Structure 1
């Protein structure tokens, strides 16, 4: 997708997404056979409910139909949340991942898995799980040290929530509903 089209779509859709108290995380236009797919990824501090995705999908569809941002060619619209193993690229992503495990690839080449305890403007406070009976260790990691970060799926989270049941079920339901809408 060209920067111009991306900027036009973001400018068109961001106010609509913000009006629903959501963050516009990503806009992606790709090809699926002869059709194009416009994928809009949204999130919020409380997560994204299926009904919210459906409402946003209808409103975005109307708005896109009224504009020429997608041109005349057919496309499929998908509105979804980031998913279970979402990448962490913004402060708000780290704040939303507080209490969760994350795989961090550091600029020096090291890779570690740590639980995010707190995130602020400079970096994150983490707890690195102990190995072979050792106690967990605390570590402060600045954002400048992090090359990539991604939430890790946990089957037995400390807080008792199951990532697969919560995140994947919502994503599957969102995708199924959005496909029905298109």
Structure 2
């Protein structure tokens, strides 16, 4: 089954869970196939899909794909995941879903890192070292979320954060 046909099966299930298909991969792995489905969406807090949404969609997708016999009787492994933080941000909705996160932007003439404040009319508002900057999406060559292991929580003082 090609990815266009697969997407026709997957997209309605994703939509029923308030998700959208980010990308699909079908690969041979010996005598099996691996079907990878990456989903995205706003989630309950507006910052991407929840684990519960992904799990519920996975259960339904498994039944739909089995019924459609997508691999013509050959065994397959189904992997369903969110889009993940390692994927580049390419659309306004990606930036909106990552509001509050630290993002490294590669622009035509420079690279900068700042916290996404929001998106309005295809312009990303970013806090760069305490200074607000507006970055048009069409000027962004690449944007990647930076993983923060010790990000301070708003409202916590330093003593509470150290405990």
TM-score (normalizing by structure 2): 0.80
Do residues 45 (structure 1) and 15 (structure 2) align? Answer: no
Report the Cα offset of residue 151 of structure 1: 0.9
Do residues 155 (structure 1) and 149 (structure 2) align? Answer: yes
Query: Over aligned residues, Cα RMSD in angstroms?
Result: 2.1
Report the Cα offset of residue 137 of structure 1: 2.2
Q: Name the CA shift for 1:54/1:125 in 2 (closer, same or farther; >3 Å).
A: closer
Distance in 2 between residues matched to 1:113 and 1:123, nearest whole Å: 16
Q: Is the 8 A contact 1:8 1:69 kept in 2?
A: no
TM-score (normalizing by structure 1): 0.72
Residue in structure 2 matching 1:11, options 8, 12, 16: 8
Q: Find the counterpart in structure 2 of residue 141 from structure 1.
A: 135
Report the Cα offset of residue 153 of structure 1: 0.6
Distance in 1 between residues matched to 2:51 and 2:134, nearest whole Å: 36
Matched pairs, number: 150
Long gaps (5+) in structure 1: 130-135, 161-182
Long gaps (5+) in structure 2: 155-163
Q: Name the CA shift for 1:34/1:104 in 2 (closer, same or farther; >3 Å).
A: farther
Q: Name the CA shift for 1:146/1:29 in 2 (closer, same or farther; >3 Å).
A: same
Distance in 2 between residues matched to 1:8 and 1:109, nearest whole Å: 41
Distance in 1 between residues matched to 2:120 and 2:147, nearest whole Å: 23
Report the Cα offset of residue 110 of structure 1: 2.2
Q: Quick one: higher RCO (CA 8 Å, sep 6+), 1 or 2?
A: 1
User: Which structure has the highest helix share of the two?
Assistant: 1
